[in-house]
Structure 1
Amino acid sequence: CIPMEEERVGKDQLIFSRSFATPVTTAADMGQVMSVYAQQASARLAKHGLQAKVLTAFAGTSHFNQDNISYPSVCVPLPMPTADPVLLHKAANSLCERIYEGVKYVRAGIMVTDLRPTGNQSPLELFENPHEERGIGQLMESVSKKYGRGSIGLGSAGLRGGPDWSMKRDMLSPRYTTHWDELLLVKAS
């Protein structure tokens, strides 16, 4: 007899991955991508009350371009479980060393694994994260709550204006049930 599996209580991993509107061809642009994605992963971790111990960053070229195939990835074990945007940003940017200049990357992402509830650290993890001590992550979270998503960011991810690589949103479905400004208006005459 096979025992019935209980429902899982928490998440095993969080993935933030997108395709680009225009290909990313430089390590500097990929650094901006990784910075944005790391901060969004940090916000998701905080929202779910989790911390990650491992971060994997990856990128990829188009499946249709058989001439320049490249799928770099890097798996970075973090020194302690964290949701700190500064630490995640630094870990994600280690992917930039593996980016080949001139290759057209059309997709990238970040995956955080070995998730643990916030505040559930083992006694062996004695080292404090200096950024968490200063409250940079909490400051960024409070500014984002007050002024909206994208109002603050680390490095080039904090720049205003949409980058060329940002996701295409031309074919986005209407969100009638969740956004008042997209609600259909019907006029009876």
Structure 2
Amino acid sequence: MTTVSGIRQALSVYAQQAATRLVRHSQVARSLTAFAGTSHWHEQKHYPSARVRLPFPTADPVELTRAAHQLLPQIQDGTRYARAGLMLTDLLPADTHLSLELFRASHEDASIATLIDAVQKKTGGREVIGLGYGGLKPGPSWTMKRDMLTPRATTHWGELATVRA
């Protein structure tokens, strides 16, 4: 990707996926780090990052996307970015922390992340529903390279290592 809008799209999709995972595991996050980077072998190296302390512990995709987009002012148009991503830290169980009504976003009570997760499970696809760039159909113009993906032998039964003697 070489444009700010391309990185915005990637961060939006990743924030929505992160919110879905938080809901699925009954967690909320208090901090988000967004990053992007050029290839290590490219002559023009650029590795911007932004760490954002969320206003309240949340799994809301709107808040996570808003926080992830704080990286965008550091993105340089024309620079070829090879990677972008998000890290959620300072995780808490969702049921142990309820923020005061005064500090909650008005849309937080709508449980948007739970709704998106339920629709995606029922329909069997991520591209069916989403917020902004996260809801694109047929999906973003870019895709992650999965050609050389390492087998996930410790987390997926179908990819368990087989040893023959």
Whether 1:44 and 2:21 are equivalent positions in the alignment is yes
Q: Is the 8 A contact 1:52 1:81 kept in 2?
A: yes
Q: Any conservation in 1 of the 2:57–2:99 contact (CA below 8 Å)?
A: no
Deviation of the 1:87 alpha carbon: 0.6
Task: Report the more deviating stretch, 131-140 or 28-37.
Answer: 131-140
Q: Which 5+ residue runs of structure 1 have no aligned equivalent?
A: 1-23, 180-189
Per the TM alignment, residue 83 of structure 1 is displaced from its structure 2 partner at its CA by 0.6
Q: Find 1:107's aligned residue among 83, 87, 97.
A: 83
Count how many residue pairs are aligned between Structure 1 and Structure 2: 155
> Under a length normalisation based on structure 2, what TM-score does the superposition of the two structures give?
0.83
Opposite residue 137 of structure 1, the aligned amino acid is A
Query: Residue in 2 aligned with 1:98?
Result: 74
- In the other structure, the counterpart of 2:115 is 139
The question of whether the paired residues in 1 share the 8 Å contact of 2:30 and 2:90 is answered with yes
- Alpha-carbon distance in 2 for matches of 1:124, 1:163: 37
How many percent identity over aligned positions?
51
| 1:53–1:82 contact (8 Å) kept in structure 2 | yes
Instruction: Select the residue among 130, 135, 142 that pairs with 1:153.
Output: 130
Q: How many angstroms does 1:127 deviate by? A: 1.6
> 1:161 deviation in Å?
2.1
Task: Return the alpha-carbon distance in structure 2 between the equivalents of residues 45 and 74 of structure 1.
Answer: 20
State which structure, 1 or 2, has the greater radius of gyration over its C-alpha atoms.
1
Post-superposition offset of 1:154:
1.0
Correspondence 1:35-184 to 2 at 5 A: 35-66=12-43, 68-121=44-97, 126-150=102-126, 151-171=128-148, 178=158
Q: How far has the Cα of 1:149 moved from its partner? A: 3.2
Q: Distance in 2 between matches of 1:165 and 1:123?
A: 37
More helix by share: 2
Deviations 1:136-176 (CA, angstroms, capped at 9, x unpaired): 22221111111123121111221112433211234558999
CA distance, structure 2, for counterparts of residue 122 and residue 174 of structure 1: 39
Q: Could you say which residue in structure 2 is the equivalent of 1:27? A: 4
